[in-house]
Amino acid sequence: MNKIIITDSSLRDGNHSVKHSISLKSIKKYCQFADAANIPIVEVGHGNGLGASSILIGQSRHSDKEILTTARKYLTNSKLGVHIIPGIATINKDIIQAIDIGVDVFRVATHCTEATVSKSHIEFLKNKNKSVIGVLMMTALASVSELVTNAKIMEEYGAEGLIIMDSTGSYLPFDVVERIKALKEALSIKIGFHAHNNLGLSVYNSIVAAQNGAEYIDACMRGFGAGAGNTPLEVLIPVLEKYDFKTQIDYELTIKEADNVMNYLIEEPPHISPVNILTGLNTLFSGFEKPIINAAKMNNLEYSSLIFELGNRKLVAGQEDLILEIASKMKK
């Protein structure tokens, strides 16, 4: 029987869908559940990770220090994880503080073709004897060989694992097979997969990833995340079990909490809307949904035409400010 290590990103990726406004009270309640349910890693913070709260990306309701200190207090069994994007999170201001608070797992994330920018962050964390995992985002925009090249760079810097994110929710199962197999053959570290549900394939793609050697799988309660959301945790666990993978997560507690979270964390579970389908098909970041709809309304455009244009320009996460600019030019 193969063991899968689940990272629950509800309190990080879910923050995208509520404008980074998850309360400390909600963080406390969810961490108490996750700890009792034996969820291995709980990722917490602003949707874009440490140091990301800003007017441009979105201001968080609480500071990183408040968020992480609260989560640390209630995670005694589960490990506390954070998402780090070099260029947003700094070593001196953000990472050292997270180490002092007691973060267990640091996931250093870059665009899929820009792994070299992770060097200082990964090497600093390894020198501090911290658990550090490399993450490649927006991976539908890279070829298999580009992914392998960038993954090997993160491994050389000292990453003990490598996660590929289908940030656009674009992957079909054969895309997962091809990439996970290539990474397993090329690397000596653990491989993982993070899915989005734009095309309704997040659970199946996660299973396919596990079947082809992925040991880390990301999921969120009720799929809590931007746009069409992420792999729903409460669905993934029993499906993994049916395929003879073990997570050691208490499913009875998990399925109860899937109801409870509607009272304190999630106002409305993510669902697949036409805009999500189009962003997935055009390999656009799932978090672009609301900026696209708002920009289209402001400029009296069909959001579909704006999506096609953004896809042609290959916009990536972090370029939200360009959506309005492009829509304005299309109007003219």
Catalytic center residues: 16
d(CA 131, CA 79): 11
Core vs surface per residue 78-103: b (16+ CB within 10 A) or e: bbbbbbbbbebbbeeebbebbeebeb
55: left (phi over 0), alpha (psi -120 to 50) or beta: alpha
d(CA 302, CA 300): 7
Angle, helix 202-211 to helix 233-242, in steps of 10 degrees = 40
Contacts 24+ apart (CB under 8 A), 177-184: 177/208, 177/212, 178/144, 179/139, 179/144, 179/147, 180/208, 180/209, 180/212, 180/213, 180/214, 181/212, 181/213, 182/144, 182/147, 182/148, 183/147, 183/148, 183/151, 184/212, 184/213
Residue 54's DSSP bridge partners are 58
Phi then psi dihedrals of residue 116, to 5 deg: -60, -25
Phi then psi dihedrals of residue 257, to 5 deg: -70, -25
The pairing of beta strand 161-165 with beta strand 2-3: unpaired
Residue 6's DSSP bridge partners are 217
Element (H, E) at 134: strand 131-137
d(CA 280, CA 297): 21
